[in-house]
Amino acid sequence: MRQIFLDTETTGLSADNGDRIIEIGCVEMLHRKLTGNNRHIYVNPGRDSHEEALKVHGITTEFLKDKPKFSEVADDLMDYLKDAHVVIHNAPFDLGFLNMELALIGQPPVKEAVASITDTLVMAKELFPGKRNSLDALCDRLEVDNSGRTLHGALLDAELLADVYINLTRGQEALLMDDASAVDASGHKMAAVDLSGFVLPVIQANAQEMAAHEGVLTQIDKDSKGKTVWRALESAALG
């Protein structure tokens, strides 16, 4: 599977109100291995950044004045993204800006060129309900080194996102893989194994393990302020 981890920096927070993209960073991963085939693009937005945005990314109008317009880099960018599985943290924000830039030059939105779009913010909220799930917070929680991130930068953030994603998915995409995705670390297809003849033993948890499990559930329930599904089902069954 070819995945692209993507991040942007912008002049402000609102594409609808005229803010523009100033930087795009993309990191490529093939079969969960970084390839080094990345993209890092600075874009002249034709306007100044808002003061608050400038504090975040530090990219000045003076620095961007000799950089290409988005229209000059769009074809290369979309060829690079074509048919990839794109991963973005807080995808609606970046896609809103990318789709606006594409619309301005008469090109279709990103979703029409790529295979899929995954939002790691949505993934993180499902895994860590009730907790902070910014990229920095996830780096801290998943022990990803972000010590070099004094300012936001699209390529650096895309690299951090790739590391965060690997930790979020813990080395696998799913419990079941189809033939097309069954590859080893070198990218070679693995032979299928028929497990239908195996009878797996069922080992019941002991009292200590059950108590530890209940403790974890209680902590998750506390973090989500009582909104966990199992508590709601328990209440419904008792009612």
* Strand-pair partners of 87: 5, 118
Paired tokens of 229: 């599904």
Q: 160, 85, 164: which is closest to 123 by C-alpha? A: 164
Relative to beta strand 116-119, strand 85-88 is parallel
Shortest CA distance to 13 belongs to which of 74, 44, 69, 55? 55
Is 117:110 a contact under the CB 8 Å cutoff?
yes
Comparing C-alpha atoms, which of 76, 90, 158, 78 is closest to residue 114?
78
Asked if 45 contacts 64 with a C-beta cutoff of 8 angstroms, the reply is: yes
In the residue annotation, 152 being an active-site residue is answered as yes
Choose, from 40, 57, 152, 188, the residue flagged as catalytic.
152
CA–CA separation, 157 and 144 (whole Å): 12
* One-letter amino acid of 168: L
DSSP class of residue 130 equals T
* Residues classed as catalytic: 152
